[in-house]
Amino acid sequence: MDKHVRIITVIALSLLGVLSIASGIMYNSLQANNVEEKVLVIVEQKQVSKENDIDIKLKNLTIEVNTPLSVKIIDYLDSAVSDEVLANLKLDTSCVNVTEPGTYNYTVTYKKKVYQGIIVVKEKEVNTNILQSITLKTVNINVGTALPTDVSNYVIEPLTDDIKATMLIDLSKANVNKAGSYQYTITYNNSIYTGTIVVTETQPTLSTDIKDKPTTNPPEQTEPTTPKEEQNNTETN
């Protein structure tokens, strides 16, 4: 074979080998870059999705003085959250004084983010229809008669069910089996009122039936003779 042909053949084979090696390296490099790029895109999408799902809104609450605060975080949320997020929320109501009217802040923390809400503590509403005072009756009963349990029987003023529910009556000192005068008390609106219960013996009833009773006529009475009439009778004889 010609010397020049051999040289050309060797050079061609060498170039072919170099091209094959270079193609393999480029393919592997491109494949690695594609895999890495795909992984980075997936991670970034998950992070954006989690941030968009979290939307915590708190309620502004109003309660009356001495009302206990709820310990359930869900009672303070004004928006729905997943169970996973709910389990990671932390409630702080330590700045709220339920014994004194005022406006207080409370917080709910999720990871490192703090959300703030408001709790208003107000005075209890006063019923304008409430009686300022009451007047008790003197109750009269016969021996052996049970005392009424409805407080309306002992108070002169008309009472609503709401007012009666706030009254406490004490009849323990009254002995219905023995005649006498006893005291009872009613506690109302932080005051104690005292009344009287009079227990009397049962009075016998008078019978008005006289059908079977015999009737008698009273004896006839003759008028007495005066001395003058006796004298006249003597003279006539």
40/4 same-domain check? yes
Question: Is 87 part of any domain?
Answer: yes
Q: Are residues 192 and 165 part of one domain?
A: yes
Residue 110's domain is classified under what CATH number?
A: 2.60.40.10
Asked whether the beta carbons of 196 and 181 are under 8 A apart, the reply is yes
224 inside domain: no
Domain of 24? 1-53
Query: What does the alpha-carbon distance between residue 184 and residue 169 come to, in Å, rounded to a whole number?
Result: 8
232 within a domain of the structure (yes/no): no
Counted domains in the chain: 3
The pLDDT of residue 11: 72
Mean pLDDT by 10 residues, the chain (237 residues): 63 66 62 53 50 78 94 93 93 95 96 94 75 92 94 94 92 95 95 96 63 52 51 46
Within a domain: 115: yes
Q: Is 176 within a domain?
A: yes
Q: What is the dihedral of CA 206, 212, 214, 215, to 10 degrees?
A: 70
Q: Looking at the whole model, is its pTM more than 0.75?
A: no
| pLDDT, position 55 | 80
Angle at 160 between CA 155 and CA 161, to 5 degrees: 105
In a domain, 215, yes or no: no
- pLDDT at residue 220, rounded to an integer: 56
Strands 113-122 and 60-64: parallel
The confidence score (pLDDT) of residue 131 equals 83
One domain for residues 104 and 148:
no
Residue 108 lies in a domain: yes
- What is the pLDDT at residue 5? 62
Instruction: Look at residue 207 in the predicted model and tell me its pLDDT.
Output: 52
Is 185 found in the same domain as 159? yes
One domain for residues 116 and 158:
no
Final residue of a structural domain among 36, 53, 70: 53
- The pLDDT value recorded for residue 54 is 77
Distance separating alpha carbons of residues 177 and 97, to the nearest angstrom: 54
